[in-house]
Each structure stands twice: as C-alpha cells, then as structure tokens.
Amino acid sequence: MCTINSNNNILNTPIEYLTGISAQRGELLRKELNIHTFHDLLHHFPFRHVDKTKVDAIASLTPSNEYAYVAGKLLSVDLVGEGRSKRLVAKLKDNTGFIELVWFQGISFIEKMLVIGHQYLLFGKLGFFMGNPQIAHPEIELFSAEKMAGKASLEPIYPSTEKLKSRGLSGTLLAKFTAALLSKLSVQDLPENLPANLLSTYKLMGRYDAYQQIHFPVSEKHYQHALRRLKFDELFFAQLRMQLIKLERNRFSRGNIFDKVGAYFNTFYNNHLPFTLTNAQKRVLKEIRKDTGSGKQMNRLLQGDVGSGKTMVALLCMLIAADNNFQSVLMAPTEILATQHYNSIVEMLQGMDVKVALLTGSVKTKNRRQILQDAADGTLHILIGTHAVIEDKVQFKNIGLAVVDEQHKFGVAQRAQLREKNTIPPHVLVMTATPIPRTLALTAYGDLDYSVMDELPPGRKPIVTTHRNETARPQVMDFIKSEIALGRQAYIIYPLIEESSKLDYENLMKGYEEVKSFFPEPKYWISMVHGKQPPELKETNMQRFVSGDTQIMVSTTVIEVGVNVPNASVMVIESAEKFGLSQLHQLRGRVGRGAEKSYCVLLTGSKLSNDARERMGIMVATNDGFKIAEKDLEIRGPGEIEGTRQSGAINFRLASIVNDKAMLEFARAAVEELLTADADIEMEAHQCIKNFLISQKGKTKWSKIA
Ligand code: ADP
Ligand code: MG
C-alpha cells in the first residue's frame, strides 16, 4: 500500500484501499461527502454520539426526541404515490407501539432489502405525521442479540446524505470504516504536532488520542477533551499560516518609505483642517505613519464606524505621500461616492498646490487623456475614482499609496494589479465602515494589520431609531414634513435586491409616486437616484440633494455607502425586513452626520419572521456598529458575512468563530508567542510544528519561509 503514497503518508491513501470500500462506494463517498482519502475519512467527524446499547420504546417517543433508535418487527412495506411523490412506506412494531418508515429515494434498493417479519434496528431523525412517529430515510440493520451485545454506549453518528443511506452506505457503515481506519493508524501516522509546553499550558489531549476519542470516546468527558484539542489544532494552525504569510511578506516585500512630513501635510494641517482630529484619527494616523516609514509594504485594514471620519485619515495619508514625492489613488465602489470624495477633497484643498483628478466612466475622452498623461508624468498627486483607476491603461510615474474606500473585499487580484503599478508596490489602506467582529478579523483577515476607529467626532447625537408598521406611513411622512420645516432633509430608501429585478424598480417607482403625492411641488422637491439611471442624471439628482435644492432623496441602496449630507436628519427605510443588519446600519449611517438630532424609521409589514423581528429589535436598541456586527455574525454565521464567503480561512470543521472566541484568542496568543521566540520555527522543541506544516504541503507556502 505504501507504494502508492506519494510522500509516504498513509493518510494520503485513496479511500478504496480501505477494506469494505468498493470502487462504487468510493465513488459515492467522493461525490456525496467529498471523502477522497484516509485523511478525509478521519476528518469526517461525528456530530453526536448515541448510546446504542439501549433502544427507545416506540410509545415513549415524543416530539422532544430529536432522534429515535428503535428495534422491532417489520409488518408491512408499501409503495405509495405516483411520479415525484412516489415513496416507500414501511411499518415497524415493538412491544409498545408502531412507527412508520419512509423512503423517497433508492426505493427499489430498499424494497428488495426489506423482509416482512424480520427484526430490524433503526436509527434516524424523528418526525411526527398526523400524531404518529415517523422516520424518513432511517439507518437500518438486521437486529440480533449478538449484534446488540457488541454495541458501544457512545456510537458515533456521522453526517450523511439521503443518497448514501438509500444506497446502503449508512452511518453505521461509516462508523465501521472509521473504526477500521483508526485501527490501522499508529501514533507515527498521527504524530504530535504541538510542542509539549503548549499541551501542558492549554491542557490539551495528545493528537493521536484525540482522533481516537473524537470518533469512539470511552466517555463523554473524553469526547469533550478530544473536541477541544482538535478545535485548538484548527485555530492554531490557521493563525500560524496567516502569521507566516504576513511575516514572509514583511521579509521579502520592500515598501516605499514615507519618512518625512513636509509642506503639503503641514500647510493643510495648520491652515485648512476644518476641525481638530479625534483621538482615534490621531492614533490611526500614527499607526499608518509607522507602517509607511518602515520600509515594508503596508497592508492595513481600517475599520471605523459610519461617520467616524475615515476620509480625513485617507486625505492626510495622501498628503504625506505627496510630501515624499509619491502619487496616491483613492478608490470608491461607486461613481457617486468617488465624485463626492473628489468634490469634498478639492474643496478642502482649495488654495493649495495639490493636483487632484477624478476618473470615472463618465469622464470624456479629452479630459481622460489629460488625466492619464498627468498620472504618467507625475504632475498628478491624487487620483480619485472607481476601481477603473487601477486598470492597465492608467500608468503612474511613482505611485506610493492606494486607499480603497468601503470595500473590505478588495481582493487578491486587485492587489496583484496594484503591485504592477510600481517597481516597489504601493502601500494599501483598505477602509471599511462595516465593522468586522474581532474574531472574524483575526481569522479572515488575519494576515492584514488592522486599525480601529472606535470614536465619533464630538457633538454627534445618537440616532433615534424606531420600527413602525407600514400602515403608519402617513404619520411618518408628516414627521418628515416637520423636519423639512426645520430646514432638514430626508432619505427614503427602497430595497433593491437585484440590480436587474423589474419588480424592485416597479416598487421604487410606485413609492416615488406615493412620496410625490405627500410632498407636492413646488413646496417640496424630490431627488430620485437608482442604478439604472445614466451616470450624469444620477450625479445631477445627487448633487441637487447635496446642495439642498431638493429636500427628499428617494433612492435604492446605491446611496448605501459613504454618501455624506450632514443636513439630512431622517432616514426612512421601506421594507426594512428585506435588509441585513450591516446594510441597515450602513443606511442609517447616512444621517446623524451633522450636529442635528437624527432619526431612522424602519418600516415593515406586520407579518415578520422571527429573524426579521430580531434584526429590527437590535437596530432600535443600539447604534454601535461593532455590536451590530457581532449580532450579524451570530445570526447569519461567518459564511454569509459580505466579503468573507470566499475565504477558506474561516471554514473550520470543528471550531466556530462565533462559539469558540476564547479559544481563538488562546490560539492566537500561542502563535504570537511561538513566532516571537522562534520566527523560523527552528528550535528543537518546535520541530513537530514544522514537520506538520511540511506534511501539509500545498496548504502553506512553506518553501518560501523555510
Ligand atoms: P466615514 O468614516 O463614514 O467615511 P466621513 O469621512 O465621511 O466618515 O466623515 C463624516 C463626517 O465627519 C464628515 O462630514 C467629516 O467632515 C466629519 N469629520 C471627520 N472628522 C472629523 C472631526 N475630527 N471632527 C469633526 N468632524 C469630523
Ligand atoms: Mg466614508
């Protein structure tokens, strides 16, 4: 068998080499459970254990039993229904009652296997149909006294699929395979990968034992220990890989050095800065200064809640770049936002000799040519635009800094594109107002440095948020009127789930007409902005709202990120139940940006799912973006949080970044301690870690590190 192992590791053996797994079964395991090798089978962990020495009496089953484990005599087997609703229904009886068994798939296979009158042992998820207990796609085996005697009190139950079960590849069989595999493996096959001091500090079970005990524990306590050990493994090595990538980047990539603060920065700071910086802004600026002065390329994620003043931090950094003879780009996700950044930055820099340009899809050819030329010959200091600004056509004389606004998903491809822009790659500052819970930041973005601005400029009043039924719309409109009478402005947002969805646009148009009937011209003027408008129209409508020509902005979520109109004091969100928490928080952040008291009204229908009700409740209860992000993570799980879906870093099999926060912090601390003492992982005591990383080749770019 060893001959087929590329690097002599038994765990890489294809699954068919295990006794009892035919080519056909192997194919099923690959397709259904993604189990290709011994390693994969070993890591197909049970989701619970069941005491298989004791069966349940059928009469004792209630809806509070999640699973049923029963033994009895098969009374009948019938094929019922036609076509797609065709199913096999069987009846089983024990001394206390009857239970129904149903199969929707693999019917002919099961039908042939079942023999009326025989005794069977059944396990499966319990349901009730018209008050009677029922198991769909149960695991089934012939019952015998000897078999029962051989059962363990903690038998593993594995995640499986209906297809597997209907092909006779039951969880019981999976347990058998796993047991067979474990009996083949020696301690040398699963060598310890954590040093002794870590094992004792964190009281961790040995690795070999942990694999045995997670599948076939001798007691519940052993199982818990094994689980803890293997979760720690996942978190520790994920953190380690991330930190090694970071170390490697710091070691091998040179960065432009911004070592002086010169006339651009100082003139601006002393004569143009319209307010004093918050302490958080000052701190982040210091962190960035330290990075950009170090000779290493900065890769920093800046998180600041909506309205915390990230744009100013970006501008100050770009001025420092200019002081060091470097050009900068500022990228925004939408043209509206890019245009707004451009306008406000140009205004703030008025009277200063800093050349700023805006490059978007709507810039005319002649203008565009000039901008490209200025970027290429170095006369341009700051280029603002959408991501088009890092397209191949745009060449810089000496770009030193790229700021990415409102997009924490700025990806690997875009980073690579940036790297092409100068011999030494520009520093990258990614800014996001979608707070990321710390656990997620550590796992999904752990290779980046990150700064948090947890302070709002002074004088901001918390936004008052209410949740109202749609039927209260007239009162809400009256409230908007009273705010407009005070000189303020209002947003009314409609959900736009899909850019192309016709229905959503119809809703928007209907809403617009309705708003118009509440707010007739010429007393009131309304701007409408949505994604299907030509850019010039969008821009004009937006601009009219910014300048106060219109008092009401009716819009889809194109307005979501970044837009800044401090005079706006009301945000009404229609069909608020259709939005996620982060998005609601973002939208709400469009108000409360001036000194005025601001309001957010969440309008929903009266029939709400529990989830939606919870979301509304959270929005009403808090303005704190970090709290909201934590909740969002709890409700939706890490995979659903925007921008992290692609990240393999959070796909743990056992650990959960929601439930295992404390352990994640442990693991991180352990990695930090390790690398501080032994960055190259060379010490004798750490060989087990190094060997493990090497055995996991392909998952780590070890070659570059070692
Ligand atoms: P965000 O972090 O959401 O991008 P912005 O950069 O748009 O926030 O800033 C929000 C508002 O706060 C802007 O009007 C900006 O001029 C203002 N602002 C930023 N920093 C300060 C400060 N230190 N003091 C007062 N106002 C500030
Ligand atoms: Mg912003």
Among the listed residues 561, 566, 576, 596, the one whose alpha carbon sits nearest the alpha carbon of residue 493: 576
Outline where 125-219 has alpha helix (H): 145-149, 162-166, 171-184, 196-201, 207-215
- The three-point CA angle 564-405-463 to 5° equals 40
Helices (H), strands (E): how many in the chain? 25, 21
**Amino acid found at 485:** A
Quote the ligand 1 centre to 379 CA distance (angstroms).
28
**53-151: CATH topology:** OB fold (Dihydrolipoamide Acetyltransferase, E2P) (2.40.50)
Same fold, 53-151 and 464-622: no
Residue 304 alpha carbon, nearest atom of ligand 1: 2
Q: So what's the pLDDT on residue 498?
A: 59
Quote the ligand 2 centre to 583 CA distance (angstroms).
14
Tokens linked to 71: 């033994």
Quote the ligand 2 centre to 429 CA distance (angstroms).
13
Which listed ligand is nearest to 303 at the C-alpha? Answer: 1
pLDDT tens-digit readout, 567-601: 999 999 999 998 888 889 989 988 988 778 999 99
Q: So what's the pLDDT on residue 333?
A: 82
Quote the ligand 2 centre to 431 CA distance (angstroms).
8
Spell out where 341-479 has E strands: 356-359, 382-385, 399-405, 427-432, 449-453, 464-469
Residue 311 alpha carbon, nearest atom of ligand 1: 6
Q: How many angstroms separate the CA atoms of 484 and 550, rounded?
A: 10
Quote the ligand 2 centre to 433 CA distance (angstroms).
7
First to last CA, the chain: 31
455 pLDDT above the threshold of 90: no
Give the Å distances, CA to CA, from 521 to 493, 524, 529, 538. Answer: 20, 5, 18, 20
Average confidence score pLDDT of the chain: 87
Q: Atom 12, ligand 1: which residue's CA is nearest?
A: 309
Q: How many residues does the chain have?
A: 706
Q: Atom 24, ligand 1: which residue's CA is nearest?
A: 457
Which listed ligand is nearest to 285 at the C-alpha? Answer: 1
Least confident of 232-236, 333-337, 413-417: 413-417
pLDDT tens-digit readout, 342-376: 999 999 999 999 999 999 887 888 899 999 999 99
In this prediction, residues 186-194 reach a mean pLDDT of 94
Q: So what's the pLDDT on residue 331?
A: 93
In this prediction, residues 502-527 reach a mean pLDDT of 88
649 pLDDT above the threshold of 60: no
DSSP 274-329: SSPPPHHHHHHHHHHHHHHTTTB--EEEEEE-TTS-HHHHHHHHHHHHHHTT-EEE
Q: What share of the chain in percent tops pLDDT 90?
A: 54
Residue 594 alpha carbon, nearest atom of ligand 1: 14
152 pLDDT above the threshold of 90: no
Quote the ligand 2 centre to 405 CA distance (angstroms).
7
Q: So what's the pLDDT on residue 602?
A: 97
Which listed ligand is nearest to 344 at the C-alpha? Answer: 1
Do 240 and 674 touch, CB atoms closer than 8 A?
yes
Torsion of CA 540, 541, 544, 550, to 10 degrees: 160
Q: So what's the pLDDT on residue 519?
A: 96
337 pLDDT above the threshold of 80: yes
688 pLDDT above the threshold of 80: yes
Phi and psi at 158, nearest 5°, equal -105, 150
Between 474 and 495, where is the model more confident? 474
Q: Tokens 């500090």 correspond to what residue?
A: 201
Q: Atom 16, ligand 1: which residue's CA is nearest?
A: 309
Task: Choose one of 564, 569, 585, 587 to mutate for the ligand 1 pocket test, by most ligand atoms within 8 angstroms of C-beta.
Answer: 564
Q: How many angstroms separate the CA atoms of 37 and 651, rounded?
A: 19
Give the Å distances, CA to CA, from 575 to 192, 495, 563, 578, 632. Answer: 54, 7, 21, 6, 18
Q: Atom 4, ligand 1: which residue's CA is nearest?
A: 310
Which residue ranges make up each domain of the chain?
53-151, 263-453, 464-622
Task: Choose one of 311, 342, 561 to mutate for the ligand 1 pocket test, by most ligand atoms within 8 angstroms of C-beta.
Answer: 311
> Considering only the top CATH level, what class is 263-453?
alpha beta
Q: So what's the pLDDT on residue 3?
A: 30
Among the listed residues 495, 518, 522, 492, the one whose alpha carbon sits nearest the alpha carbon of residue 506: 495
228 pLDDT above the threshold of 80: yes
Task: Choose one of 308, 404, 454, 588 to mutate for the ligand 1 pocket test, by most ligand atoms within 8 angstroms of C-beta.
Answer: 308
Do 11 and 3 touch, CB atoms closer than 8 A?
no
146 pLDDT above the threshold of 80: yes
pLDDT tens-digit readout, 494-513: 987 555 566 777 888 888 99
From edge to edge, which strands make up the β-sheet containing 382-385?
356-359, 382-385, 327-331, 399-405, 427-432, 299-304, 449-453
650 pLDDT above the threshold of 80: no
In this prediction, residues 36-40 reach a mean pLDDT of 94
In this prediction, residues 288-295 reach a mean pLDDT of 91
Tokens linked to 137: 């796609």
408 pLDDT above the threshold of 60: no
Pocket of ligand 1, beta carbon within 6 A: 275, 277-278, 281, 304, 306-312, 433, 457, 562, 564, 566, 593
Task: Choose one of 268, 272, 273, 275 to mutate for the ligand 1 pocket test, by most ligand atoms within 8 angstroms of C-beta.
Answer: 275
pTM of structure? 0.71
In this prediction, residues 78-91 reach a mean pLDDT of 90
DSSP 316-374: HHHHHHHHTT-EEEEE-SSHHHHHHHHHHHHHHTTTS---EEEE-TTS-HHHHHHHHHH
- The three-point CA angle 184-185-190 to 5° equals 170
Which listed ligand is nearest to 313 at the C-alpha? Answer: 1
Residue 314 alpha carbon, nearest atom of ligand 1: 6
Do β-strands 119-129 and 67-80 pair in parallel, antiparallel, or remain unpaired? antiparallel
pLDDT tens-digit readout, 103-116: 988 888 889 989 99
**464-622: CATH topology:** Rossmann fold (3.40.50)
Tokens linked to 39: 């390693």
Q: What share of the chain in percent tops pLDDT 70?
A: 92
Residue 699 in 3-state DSSP? coil
Q: So what's the pLDDT on residue 240?
A: 92
